[in-house]
Amino acid sequence: MHSILIVEDDSDIAEGLQYNFRREGFLPVIAESGEKGLRLALNEKNPPAIIILDLMLPGMSGLELCRRLRRESLTEKTPIIMLTAKASENDKIAGLDLGADDYIIKPFSVKEVVARVRAVLRRTGDTALEKYDDGNLTIDMADMRVGCSGDEVKLTRKEFSLLVHLVRNSGRVATRQQLLDSVWGYSYFGDTRTLDVHIRRLRQKLGECGNCIETVVGVGYRFIGTK
């Protein structure tokens, strides 16, 4: 069974999620504040498999908690789904750039949350000890490390997930919708410009290795390596 940490100060929402996740075979635990959420997330004896995080929390905000969790070795790879009433694109990008794996706007369907949790667990669970090395670009998919010509490349989780998806489908065109569904989550219907912005940033960070991603005009992107 997967353990789920629900960091939510609205008791009705938290208990509703807890009830439905139990019915689906998960082991949900509730934290009513960011501080308690941090303590439970860093419990080495029972770390959560995934964290559902409200942004509007008393005391430590959800964004600050996400930032703290990504700094800790125990939780740097733990999937995080943010829940919030803030629906602007800037709010979404802020949360995703901090390392969240998905973003759900309130009010929401509990069935949708469960489906997105399963989708994120499928994606993040696909982390076999795989490495890519073409002599210039190196990727350690287990340790989330990327290098170009011997220099380490610092990527956000979204940028890394995009790169890994493209590498695992090397030589094949990944459509924009496929990349959005795979990296941003279950049935993403947002603006595809979000994807294009992330691809542009990814190429910039990869530097001389940025040519490994080819644009297929009107369709999407393809990984072709650096040689």
* 94-98, 150-154, 188-192, 196-200: segment of lowest average pLDDT: 188-192
Confidence of residue 131 (pLDDT cuts 50, 70, 90): confident
pTM over 0.75? The answer is no
Distances 105 to 84, 110, 212 between C-alpha atoms, Å: 5, 12, 34
Q: Which residues of 80-107 are buried (b: 16+ CB within 10 A; e: fewer)?
A: bbbbbeeeeeebbebbbebbbbbbbeee
DSSP one-letter code for 204: H
- Do the domains 131-223 and 3-125 match in fold? no
Q: Which CATH architecture has domain 3-125?
A: 3-Layer(aba) Sandwich (3.40)
pLDDT at residue 106 in the model: 85
d(CA 82, CA 165): 22
The ranges assigned to domains in the chain are 3-125, 131-223
d(CA 210, CA 100): 24
Nearest to 55 by CA among 81, 90, 29: 81
15-34 pLDDT, tens digit per residue, is 999 999 998 888 899 999 99
d(CA 87, CA 26): 28
The H-assigned helical ranges of 88-213 are 89-97, 110-125, 157-168, 176-179, 193-206
pLDDT at residue 91 in the model: 67
Q: CATH assignment of 131-223?
A: 1.10.10.10
pLDDT at residue 157 in the model: 86
d(CA 173, CA 85): 35
Distances 209 to 126, 161, 165, 173 between C-alpha atoms, Å: 25, 17, 17, 19
- pLDDT of 129 higher than 60: no
